Amino acid sequence: IEGQHDVYERFVKERVDRLYDELMERGVEDARLWASLVELPAYRKIAGIFDEQVEMVEELGPLPDDVREALKKEIGL
């Protein structure tokens, strides 16, 4: 059985990196997308990790209107 690191590297990291690159190309700051492997023994830390990420994004504020509108148009909203 593969370890969590192997699964993360093969299935999650590649997808997150691709999404990260695509969002950066569209003008979205890198701090708005963050991924981290949290192993089961550390599950109690998950709330703190989310709180940190929320705080970082709140400090950035909303996306600029032009970036927001371009993203909405691209996905058909």
Write the pLDDT tens digit of every residue in 1-20: 356 677 777 778 888 889 88
Between CA 42 and CA 45, with CA 21 as vertex, the angle to 5 degrees is 10
Provide the residue ranges of all domains of the chain, joining segments of one domain with +: 4-75
> pTM for the full model?
0.62
CB 46 within 8 A of CB 38: yes
Closest by Cα among 11, 76, 74 to 37: 11
Q: Note the pLDDT of residue 1.
A: 39
